[in-house]
Amino acid sequence: MQYGQMMDQPLLISSLIKHAEQYHGDTEVVSRLSDGSIHRYTWAEAARRARQLANALGTLGLKPGECIGTMAWNTYRHLEAYYAISGLGAICHTVNHRLFPDQVRYIVDHAEDRALLFDADFLPLVERLAPELPHVRTWILLGARAQMPAHSPLANLLCYEDLVASHSDHYAWPQFDERTASGLCYTSGTTGHPKGVLYAHRSTVLHALASSLPDAFDLSAGSCVLPVVPMFHVNGWGLPYSAALNGIKLVLPGNRLDGASIHQLIVEEEVTMATGVPTVWLNLLQHCETNRLRLHGLKRVVVGGSAVPDSMTGHLAEHGVELRQLWGMTEMSPCGTMSAPKFKHRHGGTALMRQLQATQGRPLFGVEMRIVDGAGEPLPHDGVAFGNLQVRGPWVLSRYFKRDLDASHTDDGWFNTGDVAKLDADGYMRITDRTKDVIKSGGEWISSIELENILMGHPAVAETAAVAAPHPKWDERPVMVVVLKQGTQATRDELLQFFQGKVAKWWIPDDVLFVDELPHTATGKLQKLKLREMLRDHRWPNDQ
Ligand code: AMP
C-alpha cells in the first residue's frame, strides 16, 4: 500500500472562523438581544473577539480537554464562545436550559464543566443550581458591566465584556488531532438521565461541509440564514459552523422566537433561508395570516426535529417559500436526510414535489441507512416495508459520553435511532413513529405521525397528537388529542369523519380529546409519554 502525497492537515473548527475572517470579513452577523435591540457586526469582529476570549479562558486556567458550559440564546456572544472554546481545544458543552432544573444540574455536573458562560436571563437558575455544581470554578455572565448584578452568591462571577476587552486578540489557534473532542450536547430523553453526545472537530467539519451542499441546506456566500433552532440543541443544526465555512450573513434571533419577531427579522434582514422546528413555522404562518403579511425574500425554510405537517408545505408555498424537510438527531450532529428532489423528478409538477416534501428526505453523502425487523434482519428498501431505522457514518455517535456500549449500537456497528421508518429505492424515508410511540392495534402498527399529518390538514386544528390508549379488545387504539385554532369550532364526529378515505378503515382513530395545550419536551417535541399517561384510563365512547 502506498499513501497519497497530499498534506495531512487536520480538520479543525478554528479553520472555519479563520476562513470567514479572511474571505468574508465584512459579511454581517446580526443578533437580536434580550432587550429587543439589534446588534450587528462582521465575521472579522467575531473572529477577533473569539481570539480575545480564547486568551481570556486560558488566563483563567481553563485547559484543552476540559468541558466549558454555555447556557445562552442564539446571539453573537454565544457564537464567539463556540469558536473560542473548541478552538483552544476545550469542549463546548451547550446546556439546554429548557430541561428541568434537576436535569440541568445533572448534565453540568456529569460533564464536569469547569466554567459556565450564561446569558443574564439565566442568572436566577444558575444562582440556584451553583451550590450543587462543585466542578464549576468560573462563572461568566455573557453581558456588559451594566448587566452585572449588584450582589450575587456566585463566587468569582465575571463580566464577559470586561473579560474580552482586557485580553489581546493575538492568538494562534493551536493545531491538534482532528479527532479531538470539540462539543458536547445532551439528548433530552423522556426517561432516565439525558445522555451526552461528544462531537469531534473532524465530525463537525465534515458535517458542516456535507450539510452545506445544494441538496442539503444549499448554503453559499450569497445567502442570509436565520437559524431559529437554538444553538443549545445539536449546535443549532451545525449552522454556526457551516455559516462560517460558507461566509453567509447570519441572523441570530436571541430569545424572541414568536411569529412577529421572526417575521420582522426575515423582512428587515433580507433572510433567504431559515431553519427550525415545525411549531416555529406554525406560529409564523399564523402571525402572517392574522396580520395579512407576506414573507418577502424568503426562499426556503428547512424544517425538522419532529413530524412536519403536510399542510405547512402548501401554506409556505402560498408565500413563495419552499419547505425542505430535515431528519436528524443529536446523535447525528444532526443531519441525516433532506427532502430535495432529483433530476428525474423535474417534470413531476407540484404534486410530485409535495410527495417528496412529505418524506423526511434521502441520506446526505456520508450517512448510511438501513431498516431492520424485530430480529435485526434487514428489510427491503421498497417504500412499503417498515422497521427499526439504523444509521452509521462519520458524524454519527459511536457511544454515549461516559457510558459503556449498550443496545444503542448493534454488534456490527450501526446506531439504533429509535425511529421506525420506510425507505424507498432512492433512499427517501418516511418516519412512521418513534419506536415507543407506535400504536399497536390488534398486533398491527398504526403510524401516529400519519394520523397527525392528516388531521393537521383540517382548517380548525392548530395542533394534534395521535396517542395509543389501552383498549380491551384491540390492545391499543388511536385517540387524537387536539388543540383547536382560536375562534374555530369542530366536533369529535366531524374530526373523525375527516379521516374517511384517507387511511385504511381500521386506522381511523376511535376518539378525540380536546385540550387547550399539548405538552412539549425541552426541544419542542410532543411529549407522548405524558399524553399516554393521561389516556391510561380512557373511557371509550359507546362501550366499544
Ligand atoms: P433530537 O435528538 O432531539 O434532535 O431528536 C431526534 C428525533 O426527532 C428523531 O429520532 C426523530 O424521532 C425526530 N425527528 C427529527 N426530524 C424529524 C422529521 N423531519 N420528522 C419526524 N421526526 C423527526
Nearest-atom number in ligand 1 for the CA of 434 is 12
Pocket, ligand 1, Cβ cutoff 6 A: 187-188, 234, 304-308, 325-330, 334, 360, 417-419, 431, 434, 523
Which atom of ligand 1 is closest in space to residue 361's alpha carbon?
A: 19
CB 399 within 8 A of CB 409: yes
Query: According to the model, what pLDDT value does residue 191 have?
Result: 64
What spacing in Å lies between the alpha carbon of 334 and ligand 1's midpoint?
A: 9
pLDDT at 190: 58
Sites in the chain below the pLDDT cut of 70: 189-191, 542-544
For 485-532, list the strands marked E by DSSP: 511-514
Tell me if residue 430 falls in helix, strand or coil.
strand
Q: How far is the CA of 516 from the centre of ligand 1 (A)?
A: 24
Q: Which of 273-298 are b and which e, b meaning 16 or more Cβ less than 10 Å from the residue's Cβ? A: bbbbbbbbbbbbbebbeeeebebeeb
Distance from Cα 518 to the centre of ligand 1, integer Å: 18
Residue having the nearest C-alpha atom to atom 8 of ligand 1: 305
Instruction: Name which residue sits closest to atom 5 of ligand 1, judged by CA.
Output: 329
Ligand 1 centroid distance, CA of 511 (Å): 26
For residue 318, give every residue at least 6 positions away whose Cβ sits within 8 Å of its Cβ, in sequence order, or none.
Answer: none
Residue nearest to atom 22 of ligand 1 (CA): 306
Measured over all CA atoms, what is the biggest interatomic distance in the chain, rounded to whole angstroms? 76
For residues 445-482, b (16+ Cβ closer than 10 Å) or e, as one string? Answer: ebbbbbbbbbbbebebbbbbbbbbbebeebebbbbbbb
What is the model's pLDDT at position 442? 81
Q: Of 94, 229, 303, 419, which is best to mutate to test ligand 1, by the most ligand atoms within 8 angstroms of its C-beta?
A: 419
Q: In ligand 1, which atom is closest to the CA atom of 326?
A: 19
Ligand 1 atom at minimal distance to the Cα of residue 332 = 2
pTM metric for this prediction:
0.91
Q: What pLDDT, on the 0 to 100 scale, is given for residue 19?
A: 98
Q: Residue 39: what residue type?
A: H
The best mutation among 187, 275, 327 to test binding of ligand 1, ranked by most ligand atoms within 8 Å of the C-beta, falls on: 327
- For residue range 13-32, what is the model confidence (pLDDT) as tens digits? 999 999 999 999 999 999 99
Give the distance (Å) from ligand 1 centre to CA of residue 133.
31
Whole-number pLDDT of residue 544: 53
The grid cell for 477 is 387504539
Q: Are strands 362-363 and 335-338 parallel, antiparallel or unpaired?
A: antiparallel
Q: Is 312 helix (H, G, I), strand (E, B) or coil?
A: helix
How far apart, in whole angstroms, are the C-alpha atoms of residue 332 and residue 427? Answer: 17
44 Cβ partners below 8 Å, 6+ apart?
21, 25, 26
pLDDT given for residue 189 in this prediction: 62
518's CB contacts (< 8 A; 6+ apart) are 463, 464, 465, 481, 483, 526, 527, 531
| Ligand 1, pocket-test mutation among 325, 431, 451, most atoms within 8 A of CB | 431
The minimum-distance atom of ligand 1 relative to the CA of 327 is: 16
- State in Å, rounded, how far the first CA of the chain is from the last one: 70
Catalytic residues: 187, 331, 440, 445
Give 431 Cα–ligand 1 centroid separation in angstroms.
9
Count how many residues are written for the chain. Answer: 544
Phi–psi pair at 407, nearest 5 degrees? -65, -5
| Domains of the chain, start order | 24-200 (3.40.50.12780), 439-543 (3.30.300.30)
Q: Report how far residue 168's alpha carbon sits from residue 90's, in angstroms, rounded to the nearest whole number.
A: 19
Task: Report the b/e string of 172-211 with b at 16+ CB within 10 A.
Answer: ebeeeebebbbbbbbbbeeeeebbbbbbbbbbbbbbbbbb
Whole-number Å distance, alpha carbon 276 to ligand 1 midpoint, is 12
C-alpha to C-alpha distances, 283 to 35, 280, 288, 370, 516, nearest whole angstrom:
21, 5, 9, 35, 16
Q: CA-to-CA distance for 91 and 253, rounded, in angstroms?
A: 24
Task: Read off the C-alpha cell for 493.
Answer: 364526529
Query: By alpha-carbon position, which residue is closest to atom 20 of ligand 1?
Result: 307
> 487 Cβ partners below 8 Å, 6+ apart?
none
Residue 275 cell numbers, joined: 431553519
